[in-house]
Amino acid sequence: MIEVKLHDVGEGMTEGEIAHYLVQVGDHVTTDQPVVEVATDKMVAELPAPVSGIVKEIIIPVGQTVQVGTTLLHIEASNASEVSRVSEPAPVAVAAPPAQASPSKRVLATPYTRKLARDHGIDIEAVTASDPSGRVSEDDVLRFVQATTAPQETATPIIEEVTYQETSPETIPFRGIRKQIAKKMTQSLYTIPHVTHFEEVDMTRLLALRAEWKPAGRNINVNAFFIKALIVALKDYPVFHAKLDEANACIRLERDFHFGMATETPDGLMVPVIRHADRLSLTELHDQLISLQQRAQNGALRAADLKPSTFTMSNVGPLGSTGATPIINYPETALIAFHKTKKRACVDEDDQIVVRSMMNLSMSFDHRVADGATAVAFTNRFVSLIEHPTTLLLELI
């Protein structure tokens, strides 16, 4: 008894749905006669009978999806020689002239290629395979059709097809920190309805202030100014410094300012935290920012550095970014990202064209907790403090 199994029809399939049987139990079939149609996500293919004989049993019903290798039906072979040909392992093929091929030779070809040959009235055993394995392809059949139907005087020479060896893709492990990052990002994106608001900031005055302080040995990291301005804005708009507690139907406004600093490390994205940032001076913030950055790059972050934050910021400007839609650090309600600062021609209040150092920012927030107008008001407050750093310094007194 010969088993007709679902096999890969050349599309890299792993499973298929039984669409239609072309025979019934008791029917006599011949070798290569289509017996069943199988639907994949790419095509509908006919599977041929491997031998001549009688259909004895149909095992899998129409409409059922099965894996490659599943037996679909049984055929009782009418010729013992065909049984041994199908059941014995195929030896390594040695090329031989087509004229010496045996009439019972089993040509390697997909069901679709066999159907293409039948539709053109071609004996597939007469088609020469271009593939070194001896498998006849669709292009082989079409070239054969063209060669046999075109006038001899206008027939063009068949260009031998160049084949390339397929290479397997390289794999990298998906585990550890990378897997945890994926888990956290998925949780945030599938839980929080994200909205991203974009704004631009004139950094000219702040950069001039930093340049003025630098000769005096006060080279303050720009992120320290951002944190101080954010703390002022968050006190004015505390809904962005909060966590949504759905279980108790309330929004919890945070009182302690623990700033998460999204940081790229050799192991992936990490968020070390500056705790009680509102109690630190600009110089102290600068020192902690430098220390956290160094420990993150050296893989020396401590457990205390990775405790939960209340608000997260990301400065990707040094990497060259001009904009993004950041994913919120769940369960926080907002995340702000700062992008590349570059000189642009702007029009001032006197309608004069001036060169200013402009930076883009993007802030994603939880639309369940806050609305767009509140987000605009929040970023306007932040922008005003950065564009007028003397006002920011007055807020810190």
Catalytic residues: 367
Q: What is the dihedral of CA 52, 57, 61, 65, to 10 degrees?
A: -60
**DSSP 8-state class, residue 74:** E
- State how far the Cα of 293 lies from the Cα of 289, in Å rounded to an integer: 6
First to last CA, the chain: 93
Contact between 363 and 190 under an 8 Å Cβ cutoff? The reply is no
Q: What is the DSSP secondary-structure string of 334-390?
A: EEEEEEEEEEEEEE-TTS-EEEEEEEEEEEEEETTT--HHHHHHHHHHHHHHHHSHH
- State how far the Cα of 199 lies from the Cα of 137, in Å rounded to an integer: 57
Burial 328-365 (b: 16+ CB within 10 A, else e): bbbbbbbbbbbbebeeeeeeeeeeeeeebbbbbbbbbb
3-state secondary structure of 246: coil
- State how far the Cα of 52 lies from the Cα of 353, in Å rounded to an integer: 87
Structure tokens at 193: 């309805």
- State how far the Cα of 333 lies from the Cα of 192, in Å rounded to an integer: 8
Bond from prior residue into 389 cis (ω within 30 degrees of 0)? no
- State how far the Cα of 63 lies from the Cα of 70, in Å rounded to an integer: 14
Q: Max alpha carbon distance in the chain (Å)?
A: 100
3-state secondary structure of 84: helix
- SS3 for 36-62 is EEEECCCCEEEEECCCCEEEEEECCCC
- State how far the Cα of 236 lies from the Cα of 230, in Å rounded to an integer: 10
Helix (H) or strand (E) holding 235: helix 222-236
